[in-house]
Amino acid sequence: MRGFIPGRSRGPCDRDGLLAAYSRFPPGVKPEEISAETLKPWSDTSFHLRGDLGIGSGEVSFGVAFRNGLPQPWAMGPKPATILYDNPVLPGSVTWRGALVGVTPSGGGVVGDASLTLDMGDFLGELDFTGMRFESGATWGDGDLRYAIRADDLGNTFHRADTEYRIVELSGNRTGYPWSGKDLGTVTGAFFGPRHEGMGGVLERHDLSAAFGGKR
């Protein structure tokens, strides 16, 4: 996610180079074999979907850039004044509501509603995406996704809580990462604004790369 950045953001030239190296050229290709012809069709035009939500002290922004088959979801907003645990105005259960924007592997735009409800006692909650639809109005998938969420009580981030990040033995001597939740996908996010007035994050699946934001 480009904003609270759980990783390093690379420049356009670096991203293009890595995309070309890993998606357009076969293993073992020699430098002299690389040309505009072997690169195949390459566009310098990006497709963008973006959302902005005012939170009084600033703005939560989120979106997805899509170019040459590579989706890049991101979210950003003002830094909180304290960690989540030290915010005295967030007792009990708190809900942030907003929207989601996403892109399919073929470049189709998807929009929907986003809602994150968090119990401030144990910092567990649920992230719901509902009314998910293509820009044409047709329903995407079954129209909704739901994820259990755990917030970092010693920071201002959150992540999916209903997956186990351990390698286990699967059928056929295969190993993998089990999902205990109904819906597949990786979720990472953060809270924004001096008093955590906003939240935002990214959702990445094999069939959708999306960003979302909300305010309480």
- State pLDDT tens for residues 1-39: 334 444 344 455 555 655 555 555 667 766 766 665 665
Computed over every residue of the chain, the mean pLDDT equals 83
Does residue 199 have a pLDDT over 50? Answer: yes
Judged against a pLDDT cut of 50, whether residue 166 lies above it is answered with: yes
- Asked, for residue 189, whether it belongs to a domain, the answer is yes
User: What CATH number has the domain bearing residue 163?
Assistant: 2.40.160.90
Query: Does residue 160 lie in a domain region?
Result: yes
Q: Is residue 121 part of a domain?
A: yes
The rounded distance, in Å, linking the Cα atoms of 132 and 214 is 16
pLDDT interval class at 66 (50, 70, 90): confident
pLDDT at 7: 39
Average pLDDT over residues 105-119: 95
Best-predicted range by mean pLDDT (18-22, 56-60, 182-186, 196-200): 196-200
150 part of a folded domain? yes
What's the domain range around 174? Answer: 46-215
Least confident of 5-19, 87-101, 200-214: 5-19
* Within a domain: 161: yes
pLDDT at position 132 over 70: yes
Number of independent structural domains in the chain = 1
In a domain, 1, yes or no: no
Give the span between the Cα atoms of 213 and 199, in whole angstroms. Answer: 6
How far from the centroid of its chain's Cα atoms is residue 210's Cα? 5
What is the 3 state secondary structure string of the chain? CCCCCCCCCCCHHHHHHHHHHHHCCCCCCCHHHCCHHHHCCCCCCCEEEEEEEECCCCEEEEEEEEECCEEEEEEECCCCCCCHHHCCCCCCEEEEEEEEEEECCCCCEEEEEEEEEEECCCCEEEEEEEEEEECCCCECCCCCEEEEEEECCCCCEEEECCECCCCEECHHHCEECCECCCCCCEEEEEEECCCCCEEEEEEECCCCEEEEEEEC
Rounded CA gap, 215 and 200, in Å?
Answer: 9
- 14 lies in some domain: no
pLDDT band, very low/low/confident/very high, at 164 (cuts 50, 70, 90): low
* Residue 55 reports pLDDT greater than 90: yes
**Residue 97: inside a domain, yes or no?**
yes
